[in-house]
């Protein structure tokens, strides 16, 4: 019994160290992106401590940017909640996929913490691990990446009030670079995705210019476009599941 406990403890410690090791490059990337988000937060009047708390509770670039956009427009809380739900809906699928790799005896508390810590990158390195997923590996990644995300956001917000306006403006472009880095690779691999992205750009511009929609906030327009375009695309161009591929 004591030997089994010792082996399990050593395994957990080893997985934690591996998670910390793999979380370092992720944390460095998070710091750079969060710095730009902090500058965005400063431009709408938020304080560094507010940015840090927001980043700890919502460590997702798209979701956090949506929060700042809605705050900047003085929109309603319900609109903020819907925006974050839409922007972060993919994490529901990631959580479901990760649950299939967990030990059936894993406690609800472990599952809850792991679900809270899911990001695109942490999910990627965790799901790539062979065999049953040890929660300590993900905890190691979270110990590095999430604090660096929060620190980058707070420092970016602070720097936004200290650095010259030209430098702040230049650094804020990094946020748009991040979004381009997300959409360009899949658009190059799949022409359909590229066409849908182009439609999104065109309709977003059209919505911003139509006088009939001038009374609707930018956040609500984003929600409408996101839900409508994704629903239409899924109906017109459904993705075949594994069974359909095998039949083909």
User: When comparing pLDDT for 153 and 12, which is higher?
Assistant: 153
**Does 27 score more than 90 pLDDT?**
no
User: pLDDT digits over 83-137, tens only?
Assistant: 788 778 778 878 888 888 888 888 999 999 998 988 888 888 888 888 888 899 9
User: pLDDT digits over 11-22, tens only?
Assistant: 788 889 999 998
**Does 247 score more than 80 pLDDT?**
no
* Global pTM value: 0.68
pLDDT at 45: 87
As a whole number, mean pLDDT of residues 188-212 equals 85
- What is the per-residue DSSP string for the chain? -HHHHHHHHHHHHHHHHHHHHHHHHHHHHHHHHHHHHHHHHHHTT--HHHHHHHHHH---HHHHHHHHHHHHTT--HHHHHHHHHHHTTHHHHHHHHHHTTS-TT--HHHHHHHHHT--HHHHHHHHTSSSSPPHHHHHHHHHHHHHHHHHHHHHHHHHHTTS-HHHHHHHHHHHHHHHHHHHHHHHHH-HHHHHHHHHHHHHHHHHHH-GGGTTS-HHHHHHHHHHHHHHHHHHHSPPP-HHHHHH-
**Does 242 score more than 60 pLDDT?**
no
User: pLDDT digits over 173-186, tens only?
Assistant: 655 665 676 678 87
User: pLDDT digits over 61-77, tens only?
Assistant: 778 888 888 888 887 88
pLDDT at 124: 82
pLDDT at 20: 92
As a whole number, mean pLDDT of residues 125-151 equals 89
User: When comparing pLDDT for 52 and 162, which is higher?
Assistant: 52
């Amino acid at each position: 019994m004591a030997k089994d406990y010792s082996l399990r403890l050593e395994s957990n410690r080893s997985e934690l160290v591996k998670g910390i090791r793999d979380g370092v490059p992720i944390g460095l990337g998070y710091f750079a992106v969060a710095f730009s988000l902090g500058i965005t937060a400063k431009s709408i009047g938020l304080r560094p401590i507010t940015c840090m708390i927001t980043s700890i509770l919502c460590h997702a670039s798209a979701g956090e940017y949506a929060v700042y956009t809605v705050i900047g427009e003085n929109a309603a809380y319900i609109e903020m909640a819907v925006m974050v739900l839409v922007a972060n809906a993919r994490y529901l699928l990631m959580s479901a996929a990760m649950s299939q790799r967990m030990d059936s005896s894993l406690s609800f508390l472990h599952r809850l913490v792991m679900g809270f810590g899911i990001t695109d990158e942490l999910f990627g390195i965790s799901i790539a691990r062979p065999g049953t997923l040890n929660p300590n590996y993900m905890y190691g990644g979270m110990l590095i990446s999430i604090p660096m995300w929060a620190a980058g956001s707070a420092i970016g917000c602070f720097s936004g009030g200290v650095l010259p306006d030209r430098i702040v403006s230049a650094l804020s472009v990094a946020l748009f670079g991040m979004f381009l880095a997300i959409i360009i690779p899949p658009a190059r691999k799949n022409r359909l995705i590229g066409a849908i992205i182009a439609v999104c750009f065109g309709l977003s511009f059209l919505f911003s210019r139509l006088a009939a929609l001038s009374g609707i906030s930018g956040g609500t327009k984003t929600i409408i476009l996101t839900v409508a375009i994704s629903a239409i695309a899924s109906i017109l161009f459904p993705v075949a599941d594994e069974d359909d591929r095998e039949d083909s």
